Amino acid sequence: VTGEFATIRRLVDLLPPPRPGAVSPGEVWIGDDAAALRTPQAPWLLLAADAVVAGVHADLALTTLEDLGWKAIAVNLSDIAAMGGTPRYALVTVAGDPAFDLDALYRGIAAAVDAFGCPVVGGDLSNGPGLVVGVSVTGTTDTRPVRRSGAAPADGIWVTGPLGASAAGLRVLRAGPPAEGTDALVAAHARPVPRLREGLAAAAAGATAMIDVSDGLAADLGHIADASGLGYELHALPVADGATVEEALGGGEDYELVFCAPDTGAVEVAFDGLAAPIRIGRCVPDRSRRLWDSQPIDSGGWQHRW
């Protein structure tokens, strides 16, 4: 059986069924013009959308379509995490060449939405060149969303884990068959994990600014510094096992969270039960001052070509 409508039915069947009680009476998930959902009982609605493109965001010679599907979901959930929110619903639009194995793509999407509890409630399938997987996620938060712009001078700066594993994993994959002991690096690249609990903990700790490390620590901390009108001094750079300093500083796609908060001890309390975040430095009033180990660092980061 082929054709758009039949293919959509087959792909929907690959998604995990709604969890018991997840569909409120009268709600419409997949299969109508729009998904219709009971408005979540939270004061704030979070909306994020990112597209993942085969050959741009993932090299299909090195990773799989399952991984691409996982990544498309994960990077969007990471944006919700970086606001201190909880993801609720995902929409998936796929535009691509029929030669791509959509079932594999959807298996990865299904694994991610199942792992992180964010069901796909709608979307679209159309032809197009290459393969572009667009995801938009609706999230909520009960407390003030954590923006990039709220950091204050003398706030501490934390990161939720060591950096550079994703870039190191890509380096390993490019070098040929992965050597023994590199599984964690490859997994960090192929199956990034959004730091959802960590984002909630940072918000609970009174984080004044937060971002996920997608373009690299230097670039993403640069976004916080630009938006908050501050500089920063880093005294520490936690490098993932097997990664280089350059990969930790500029590699990106780690999806750890970087956040600023007053040095009150609230961070340690809020992260009780989670891996302790690593304090890497502090904010300073002079926005032109951006130092690691007393050396200036470049906030350029990786950008798409336009």
* Paired tokens of 31: 């299969």
155 closest CA partner among 236, 81, 259: 259
At which residue do the structure tokens 């204050």 appear? 152
126 binds a copy of itself (CB under 8 A): yes
* Paired tokens of 175: 């070098």
150 binds a copy of itself (CB under 8 A): no
In the list 272, 273, 288, 306, the residue contacting a copy of itself (rule: CB under 8 A) is 306
Q: Which amino acid is at 227?
A: A
At which residue do the structure tokens 């965001």 appear? 57
Residue 190's Cβ-count burial label (10 Å; 0-12, 13-18, 19+) is: buried
- Closer CB to a copy of itself, residue 35 or residue 218? 35
Within 76-95, which residues bind a copy of itself (CB under 8 A)?
78-80, 82-83, 85, 89, 91-95
Which DSSP string do the residues of 169-188 spell out, in sequence order?
HHHHHHTSSPPTT-HHHHHH
* Paired tokens of 211: 């971002």
In the list 20, 21, 26, 177, the residue contacting a copy of itself (rule: CB under 8 A) is 26
Angle between helices 102-116 and 4-14 (to 10 degrees): 40
| Least distance to a copy of itself, CB of residue 34, Å | 4
Mark residues 32-71: x for contact with a copy of itself by CB under 8 A, - for none.
Answer: xxxxxxxxx-xxxxxxxxxx-x-xxx--------------
- Closer CB to a copy of itself, residue 220 or residue 239? 220
Distance CA 184, CA 123 (A): 32
| Least distance to a copy of itself, CB of residue 188, Å | 20
> Per CB under 8 A, which region of 134-142, 183-191, 238-246, 247-255 contacts a copy of itself?
134-142
129 binds a copy of itself (CB under 8 A): yes
Distance CA 88, CA 35 (A): 13
- Closer CB to a copy of itself, residue 16 or residue 31? 31
15 binds a copy of itself (CB under 8 A): no
Within 182-221, which residues bind a copy of itself (CB under 8 A)?
210-212
